[in-house]
Amino acid sequence: MRVGLGAVLAASLLSASALAQADQSSVLQYPASFFADSRPSTAYDMVSRLPGFVFDDGQSARGFAGTAGNVLIDGQRPTAKTNDLQAILNRIPASDVDHVEVIRGGAQDVDMHGQAVVANIVRKKGASTQLIVDFSNDIWTDGHMNPALSLQLTHRVGETTYEFALETSNSYDDSVGHGFYNITDVATGTVQHFETRSKNLGLGWMTTGAVTTSLWGRQFKVNFTYQDSPDPNGVYYSMPGNDFSSLDRYATKKGELGLHWLGPVGKAELETLLLQRMERDTDYQIQNPIGDVESFAQRNRSAESIVRATLRYRPVDVLTLEAGAEGAYNQLDGASTYIVNGAQVPLPSGNARVDEKRGEAFAQATWNFAPAWKLEAGSRFEYSLITESGANAISREFFYPKPRLLLAWTPVPETQIRARVVRVLGQLDFTNFIASSNLSAYGVNAGNPNLAPDRHWQFELAAEQHFGQRGAVSLSLLHEDIAGVLDYIPVTGSSGAFDAPGNIGGGHRNVIDLETTLPLDDIGLTNGLLKTTTVWRLSGVRDPATDQTREISGDRPRNFRATLTQDINSLKSTWSAFFFTGWHESYYRPFQLRQRGVIPLYVELEWDYKPTPQWLFSVAAKNVGRFGYDDINTSFDGLRGNGLVSEISEYKVKSQARLFVEVKRTF
């Protein structure tokens, strides 16, 4: 929802003032003056300084309801899907923000989209025009660079807001560098040792725009995005008499058009959305060691059409009722080709067309049944029909109820305890229906047309405590019971056995998440702030290859990161230091075990200088510790657990430090 619509927005039940008045205990309000010492440039800078709040960019999935991040803009979730939430917030100048609200445990007239805590950016009203020019560059120690330029224009007049941005859309891998690749033949003990160097840099572009105005006395918005994102990368291997490379030329083009209408209908409020997305992905990989030249080519075209309507009604101040429906049509047309030494290798589900017709109905109530208590209860009911044509013609129907219950107790505004029970339905990735490849890592995956969504029952207990003006500590305990865990299964085709995505049975996951925001003034660091995130994950599923319990593929058992900042008013500057202890994950394939990780410590040091509200100069030393990336693949001569280890390959690279510079000017 946009500001500047006068009486239309004043009548809206979702206005920021209504939020604050209706749920004082659930809403913490931070005026622009709260962020003054840090001299934020964008709304994202402000969100990153919220005590106890951890930004969530949302998920990439089909449909609209299941992809929400945890930040609203003027009480509304952005309608764009192609354009990520962080990019949208980075286009909102901090000078355009009146205040920020943190809504915890639900609030009357707010669609939390399944989130327990959301932030709401409330923008200023009145006519204005702002043009922002932003130039930045990453410079690696080997001399290669990643320049970026963006132009952003926002113009408000009367009840209409115009937004436009044109910017480069760059991609890069921060683990590029020099290392080694060892291939060990276990039977003979022979080791091939290659020196390696990696490269990755994709230079694309993106344009996006929106117009928000009053139509028929109500709020109407149209937005568009087009993005062209090439992402080429390569690894070059060398040893005496056998130099080769593994090249991957991946590119994606995306287009999106959205229409959004919001306004009162009698005593209720109606919100409608139409969204059309188109995407084209191409991928060409070639690996050319002597005697074993492999290539893999893939082309996917996809489209998504969404229509959604939500009706909200507030019969009394303490109760909000919400109901609605969403319909979507999704399509993927994909083709894959795998060639080894000039001969094409047939792949299970190498070519396919997938169509999905999906409908969802939902109803929800938010009830303040006592001054300190709030209950949010409801359910979504999803039906989908998925049809695949091609080598494997198959049609399947799914129906799943997705109930949700959230209970919040807020005895004082600084303290809240939440209990949540929800059934979460995973979403099938259509690209898993079609064969895929990563020649430099695990090789080729077969497609699997018989996938079913994984289903999660989540049980969560969370406590949040604020202290002082800037301090907060939150702790959440989450338990998940998972049916139909998505992992890897063996698939046999005419050319042999392959790994393929598949459902392997029931599993569980336990997550402990501790978040802290600690002011450091009392220990002598004036305007200092330390924000930390500590996450522990413990999961389990029965391995179909060994019949033993192990962790779920791709889970990262622990994660710790910390950001230390200090605002120095006399220098009109802010310095920061970011620390990350790396990660480790394993993938348990039928014929292969892949283990990869980032070896700590990752460190960033940054200095931001803002001599006037219009200028920003930033310089940062990133990856000061030069983390190591390690990727070990253990291959078996049969099904893992029964077969013997046949080959072990290890790819290890020492990444490069880089210098980041940025200049931003607001007109």
What's the CATH code of the domain at 115? 2.170.130
The answer to whether residue 266 is domain-embedded is no
Cβ neighbours of residue 122 under 8 Å, at least 6 residues apart? Answer: 3, 16, 74, 75, 97, 98, 99, 100, 101
pLDDT of 451 reads: 83
For residues 195-213, average pLDDT: 90
Query: CA dist 313 to 141, 455, 610, Å?
Result: 59, 31, 46
**What does the pLDDT read at residue 171?**
78
What pLDDT is attached to residue 186? Answer: 93
Average pLDDT rounded to a whole number, residues 89-100: 87
Alpha carbons 418 and 184: distance in angstroms, whole number: 52
Residues in a beta bridge with 546: none
**Collapsed DSSP state (helix, strand, coil) of residue 25:** coil
Q: What is the pLDDT of residue 12?
A: 34
User: What is the mean pLDDT of the segment spanning 455-462?
Assistant: 96
Instruction: Please give the residue that has the higher pLDDT: either 559 or 23.
Output: 559
Q: Which of 391, 459, 393 has its CA nearest to residue 423?
A: 459
Number of DSSP helices (H) and strands (E) in the chain, helices first:
4, 38
Domain presence at residue 476:
no
pTM of the prediction?
0.85
Domain that holds residue 92: 1-124
For residue 165, give the nearest of 82, 229, 96, 225 by alpha carbon: 225
Q: Which residues lie below 8 Å from residue 69, measured CB to CB, with a gap of 6+?
A: 55, 56, 57, 58, 77, 85
pLDDT at 24: 54
For residue 216, tell me if it sits in a domain. no
The residue count of the chain comes to 667
pLDDT confidence bin for 654, thresholds 50/70/90: very high
∠ Cα 388 389 392 (to 5°)? 85
Letter for the amino acid at 27? V
Give the pLDDT confidence score for residue 18 in this predicted structure. 35
pLDDT of residue 494: 66
Contacts of 241 (CB under 8 A, 6+ apart): none
At 224, the pLDDT band (50, 70, 90 cuts) reads very high
Contact 422, 402 (CB under 8 A): yes
Band of residue 77 on the pLDDT scale cut at 50, 70, 90 = confident
Number of domains in the chain: 1
Tokens of 93: 């100048």
Mean of the per-residue pLDDT values for the chain? Answer: 87
Give pLDDT tens digits for 492-533: 766 667 788 889 999 999 999 999 999 999 999 999 999 999
457 within a domain of the structure (yes/no): no
- Burial grade of 305 (CB within 10 A; 0-12, 13-18, 19 or more): middle
E strand or H helix that includes residue 664: strand 658-666
Instruction: Please report whether residue 340 resides in a domain.
Output: no
Give CA–CA dist 138/661, Å, rounded: 7
